[in-house]
Structure 1
Amino acid sequence: MNVKFLKLIVILCIMCSAVILNACSDKEEDNKAIIKYLDNTFGKNTYTIRQDNYHWFVTLNEYPELTFFYTVSHDPFSMSSPSIKTDFDHVFGEYVVKKYKESYNLGEDELFFDSPINFVYYTKVSSLEELKIPYDRVMKFISFVSEKYPILIDVGLMKIRMDIEGIHLKGMDDNDTMIYQEISEVKKDGLSIKTYKEICEKLSPKLKTHLDNPDGIIFHADIGRSFILGSDTFEDCLHKNLILKNGIVEELKKIILRPGESSEFYIFKSEDQYKFTEISLQAKNLSDSPCSLFEATIIKAVIDGAKDLFIDTEWIELDYDKRREWKEPYEVLGISLPKTEKEKKEGVQYKNIKILFEMNEYYKGVKRVTLTF
């Protein structure tokens, strides 16, 4: 037999032996890691364990009806220690929700387990007063877990989020239907629970106090949230995830507008320093009596530097890109270009507003859009 061939066989045998020995060694180390983890988490002699290949199936003595698995994950490209993975969270979390629903009525509300959030409680109410009922139900759930399944608190699995639908906050888009409130989480000194009073104190100043004007027109530039021209108040605009560039909020609160009086323009920009779009807004007192600037209605918007813009039901590309078909903005909205001197100055009528697109001077595309209610 060829000597080189024999050497190759010997090398392959050695490699195979090394792989087998290494795999056995890894398995023993993994088993030690699992046992150490379980002892530290649940305590010694508090569980039974059964191994099947690379899975360890565990049952806690206190909860014999539940079994969950553990695995050890190795990253061959990392120098970090192997990680332990388990379905304990889902198995235990879903089981507790099921047991709670067997004894307690949630009405039209919903409760479910959703890792990594842990527990989510959904409710639909029309006011903060109505929120008290579902909040009390969440408190009953916390008491239920604390009494019968305290292990969830011990292992840090009692983070509860309440998803609230039906309450509208200043600055919310029409498609923003949910308010998210963290109710409880496990900290070093125990379970931290947000009180109903704390929730009300946080949400009350943000509650929307007026109905949307059905004749208002929605627009959304490429920063912040949507605006409703002819409907949103100036205060609403302070909750659009934008920064007020000119003006101090505390000083603006003091401004009073006479009936029919318009404010100066206030500039809003993105919190992202790499986005350069600016939205200048003007408010007007549309009532028959004096009102604060915060209560005045937004009746004019000037958008500078945006790449695209949503108006009413249409998305309009303002930046010209020769790689794809580009339509004139007026064409997208189904209206003609400005013809008269007045239209060139004030804009073209579109439903309840006038729109003026100002084009770049030396290259194709829109540099500024003016919307007037």
Structure 2
Amino acid sequence: MNNVFEKMRRNRIGTVIGSILLVAVLFFGCAYREISRDRDAIICALDNEFGPDTYILAPENYFFPFNIQYVVTLHAYPEVPFTIWSGYSGGRTASPFLPWLIGEEEHIYYDYRRPIGELAVADYCATYQIPNPVVHGLRGGDVEEHHLNAWNNGIFEFQVNAFSVAEVEPYYREAAGFARFLEAKYPVLVNGRGSTIDVTVIGLHLKGYSPNADGRWPWHTDFTVYESRNGIGVIESWETVRAELLMKVAGE
């Protein structure tokens, strides 16, 4: 009788261990499939953006068990690698089952334009020996803002002080020159997703606004000098920019 109970006990233990092993195999098999699927999607996105054999893709961070963040190094710009990953709304990573239950779709997240843009700004300033001092920031916080900044999503911004529309024109010319520099030396920022060059002007007396108690006009306005999409770049004319500014500025 004891042998029968012992045999039953061993069978139960064997069943439990076998079930655990089966669950582990299924779990890690699913994880491997998801990682492989995400990697294929990432490679497809990079090939469409830059072309095959133009980059190196290497794993950087592992988000157990279903996700890996990769680092991409473009052969043309090895100084500025960037990260890429597959995730859900807000760029977060999660097990594929949870977002699926609430109807979320997976996306590929990466932005090469910020690091390459910062490289372009440094190159531009060094090439033409242009100082790029830190200026008063509009956004606050700890972000250091310069006369010429490269932000996310291909946005470049000149921050300037001017007290009349006539004083703005040299800055417009500078921004237009920077646009031609990008087109000549950094076509990756012109093609595909493209870039935008804006100028933010502090100090103009804008209609509908009053100075502070100390007499300063801290308000700002901005205008776009350049936009590019899919390899086509357009520089806005000074006449158009000037007309737009005159509509906003009081007393001119």
- Same structural fold, with TM-score higher than 0.5 when normalized by the shorter chain: yes
> Which digits, 9 at most, give the CA deviation of each residue in 1:327-357, with x for residues without a partner?
xxxxxxxxxxxxxxxxxxxxxxxxxxxxxxx
Q: Do the aligned residues in 1 keep the contact of 2:190 with 2:231 (CA within 8 Å)?
A: no
Match in the other structure for 1:77: 99
Match in the other structure for 1:103: 127
Match in the other structure for 2:245: 203
| Larger CA Rg, structure 1 vs 2 | 1
Q: CA deviation at 1:11?
A: 3.3
CA–CA separation in structure 2 for the residues paired with 1:43 and 1:107:
34
Alignment of 1:43 onto 2:80:
no
Cα separation, partners in 2 of 1:34 and 1:107, compared to 1, 3 Å: closer
Match in the other structure for 2:4: none
CA–CA separation in structure 1 for the residues paired with 2:231 and 2:53:
26
Matches of residues 216-255 of structure 1 in structure 2 within 5 Å?
A: none
Structure with higher strand content: 1
Structure with higher helix content: 2
Q: CA deviation at 1:71?
A: 1.4
Cα separation, partners in 2 of 1:106 and 1:132, compared to 1, 3 Å: farther
Q: Do the aligned residues in 1 keep the contact of 2:59 with 2:70 (CA within 8 Å)?
A: yes
CA–CA separation in structure 2 for the residues paired with 1:98 and 1:136:
19
Match in the other structure for 1:186: 228
Q: Do the aligned residues in 2 keep the contact of 1:106 with 1:137 (CA within 8 Å)?
A: no
CA–CA separation in structure 1 for the residues paired with 2:82 and 2:162:
37
Match in the other structure for 1:58: 72
Match in the other structure for 2:193: 156
CA–CA separation in structure 2 for the residues paired with 1:189 and 1:113:
19
CA–CA separation in structure 2 for the residues paired with 1:155 and 1:189:
7
List alignment gaps of at least 5 residues for structure 2: 1-8, 63-67, 89-93, 134-145, 213-217
Match in the other structure for 2:139: none
Equivalent position SS for 1:65 = strand
What is the RMSD of the two structures over their aligned residues, measured on CA atoms?
A: 2.5
Match in the other structure for 2:114: 90
> Which digits, 9 at most, give the CA deviation of each residue in 1:258-284, with x for residues without a partner?
xxxxxxxxxxxxxxxxxxxxxxxxxxx
Q: CA deviation at 1:51?
A: 2.9
CA–CA separation in structure 1 for the residues paired with 2:168 and 2:49:
36
Q: CA deviation at 1:153?
A: 0.8
Equivalent position SS for 1:84 = strand
CA–CA separation in structure 2 for the residues paired with 1:34 and 1:48:
12
Matches of residues 223-302 of structure 1 in structure 2 within 5 Å?
A: none
Q: CA deviation at 1:86?
A: 2.3
Alignment of 1:121 onto 2:158:
yes
Aligned length: 210
Match in the other structure for 2:215: none
Q: Do the aligned residues in 2 keep the contact of 1:161 with 1:183 (CA within 8 Å)?
A: yes
Equivalent position SS for 1:91 = helix
Q: CA deviation at 1:3?
A: 6.0
Larger RCO, structure (CA 8 Å, separation 6 or more): 2
List alignment gaps of at least 5 residues for structure 1: 211-373
